[in-house]
Chain A
Amino acid sequence: MKSLVSGALATLMLLGLLAAAAMPKPSNSNPQVLVASGLPMPTCDPPGCR
């Protein structure tokens, strides 16, 4: 059980680090995104969309 939990967690962390390495550079067509905590992220500058 311990090795299963540790293995799953370690795999997720490695995937996260790989995702960070594979993250493309932000641009206008590919905006910055932050999905902080449980809040929905506002995706465009005000005034404007919702």
Chain B
Amino acid sequence: MSLRYVHYVLWFLPVPVLVCLVATMVRRKINTELPLFFAFVLFQLAELLLGALFYRMSYAHYFYAYWTMAALEILIGFGVIYEVFTSIFRPFDGLSKLGAVLFRWAALVLVIFAVLMASNGTPIPGQRITSAIVNLDRSIQVMQCGLVLLTILCSSYLGLTWKHRIFGVAAGMGINAAVDMIAVTILANLGQEMATTVRLAKMATYSLSALLWMGYIYAGVEERQPARRLARARGWDYALAAALHPADQGQALPLIEDVVERVWKEANGKSKSGGPPPQNADQ
């Protein structure tokens, strides 16, 4: 089989997998749970099909379509990182709020960094926009790798197992990002003569990632298992919640007392103190 056939096989191999992934997500209503990941998968599918269409038209069409779709893919991919990040911390309200704030600032720093990298240094003629896209993509890929590392390192604290759906989504994106960065470094250091092999390896990795997503969406679990050190994460969460809402602590006590009073009254038909029930007990 010539390399050209391998190229086309690897190009279209993810299409049926992504179609099955979309169908499974819709059937199991996971598209409402992970809307950005669903949009990402739909976009990937459209990208592969539109890419083939523009590839047939002309090189110039394909070139501009490719870079436009690459820029859009980066934006949606960034959204998926945010979605995974918030899903990981969702059961922990305090950690989730702090994480969201940190994530937004990290995103701003990354965008500024990518723009500075693209505008600084020796510009390559005609590649200023593509440089900005590539730099932004590198930043996002570093974030994706970091996110997977965070997921692995914190999984026992957060009750996540490696069978969890979110773990699969993050792992697929992380594998793609890591292989892409390795491929680019190999090409940059060893020259373009290895370009075809490295590109085919990257396309094969993409197909594997699509299969991984499909496997996790189909068979991945949603529940978190009680983790050995989950209590520690809960402790951090409560501490953060108390730090974020110091004024609520004073207000919470009368509310708790009110609830206890109401439950006591319903159970005994009278107030806890033995006296008549308070007038506002049912309000």
Q: Which A residues are closer than 8 A to B by beta carbons?
A: 2, 5-6, 9-10, 12-17, 19-20, 22-28, 30-43, 45-50
Contact = CB atoms under 8 A, between A and B. Distances in A.
B31 interface: no
A32 B124 contact: yes
A48 to B, nearest CB: 8
Given A10-B153, A36-B180, A38-B10, 7 more contacts: A20-B138, A20-B142, A26-B188, A33-B187, A34-B134, A35-B199, A41-B66
Interface of B: 7, 10-11, 13-14, 44, 47-48, 51, 59-60, 62-64, 66-67, 69-70, 73, 121-122, 124, 126-127, 130-131, 133-134, 137-138, 141-142, 145-146, 148-149, 152-153, 155, 161-162, 171, 174-175, 177-185, 187-189, 192, 195, 198-199, 202-203, 206-207, 210
Contacts of A37: 44, 47-48, 73, 206
Contacts of B142: 17, 20
A41 B270 CA distance: 76
Contacts of A27: 122, 124
Dominant SS among interface residues on chain A: loop
Contacts, number: 152
A49 B63 CA distance: 11
A9 B124 contact: no
Nearest to B66: A42
A31 B127 contact: yes
A38 B14 contact: yes
A5 B162 contact: yes
A14 B185 CA distance: 14
A1 to B, nearest CB: 8
A23 B126 contact: no
A6 B20 CA distance: 27
B159 to A, nearest CB: 14
Q: Which 3 A-B pairs give the minimum distances between C-beta atoms?
A: A16-B178, A46-B60, A19-B185
B260 to A, nearest CB: 43
A2 B163 CA distance: 9
Contacts of A24: 185, 188-189
Contact of B127 (A19, A23, A45, A47): A45
Contacts of B14: 38
Contacts of A40: 7, 11, 199, 203
